[in-house]
């Protein structure tokens, strides 16, 4: 009887350790912080190298693109704090000066490096009702 209890205990311990290790490695790999630019830029060195989703607004007239490439440079701000960002890829149609954006990537001393497909631009004016417009037209629903 004693050997059976020992086998069950050891098996349970091995399974628990394996599950715990798998859970830890899975969560550690996918951990990503969601922060506003001003939250990160108050102490930027503590965020260097960490995966971030950074929320802010494109600084007017800060967007530039290297000719004949997909390399982009721009600045994003929130509450007076600004970060420079670089991105290689196709920009969303809604990306423009003063648009609200969420960037996925990592921060370094050189600025924010956006990962591929890591630019999400919002365009609230596109989805708001125009002045003087009425609600949905009457009809069959």
Of 54, 58, 60, nearest in space to 39 by CA: 54
* Residue 25, pLDDT score: 75
Give the pLDDT confidence score for residue 52 in this predicted structure: 92
Q: Give the whole-angstrom CA distance, residue 29 versus residue 25.
A: 6
pLDDT at 132: 63
What's the confidence (pLDDT) of residue 78? 93
Residue 18: the pLDDT is 86
Q: How far is CA 86 from CA 100, 111, 118, in A?
A: 16, 8, 11
Q: For the chain, what are the domain ranges?
A: 1-27, 32-123
Domain 32-123 sits in CATH 2.40.50.140 = yes
Q: Give the model's pLDDT for residue 137.
A: 55
The full DSSP string for 46-97 is GGBTSEEEEEEEEPTT--EE-TTS-EEEEEEEETTEEEEEEEESPPPTT--T
Per residue of the chain (141 residues), give pLDDT as tens: 578 888 888 888 888 888 887 877 776 666 788 999 999 999 999 999 889 999 999 999 999 989 999 999 999 999 999 999 999 999 988 888 888 999 999 999 999 999 999 999 886 655 555 666 555 555 554
Q: 137 exposed, middle or buried (CB, 10 Å; 0-12, 13-18, 19+)?
A: exposed
Entry pTM: 0.67
């Amino acid at each position: 009887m004693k050997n059976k209890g020992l086998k069950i205990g050891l098996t349970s311990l091995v399974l628990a350790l394996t599950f715990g290790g798998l859970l830890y490695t899975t969560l550690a790999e996918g951990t990503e912080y969601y922060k506003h630019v001003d939250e990160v830029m108050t102490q930027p060195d503590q965020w260097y190298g960490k995966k971030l989703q950074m929320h802010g607004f494109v600084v007017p007239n800060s967007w530039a693109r290297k000719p004949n490439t997909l390399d982009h440079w721009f600045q994003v701000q929130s509450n007076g704090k600004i970060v420079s960002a670089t991105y290689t890829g196709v920009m969303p149609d809604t990306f423009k000066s003063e648009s609200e954006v969420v960037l996925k990537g990592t921060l370094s001393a050189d600025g924010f490096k956006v990962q591929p497909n890591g630019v999400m631009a919002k365009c609230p004016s596109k989805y708001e009702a125009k002045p003087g417009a009425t609600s949905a037209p009457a009809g069959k629903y």
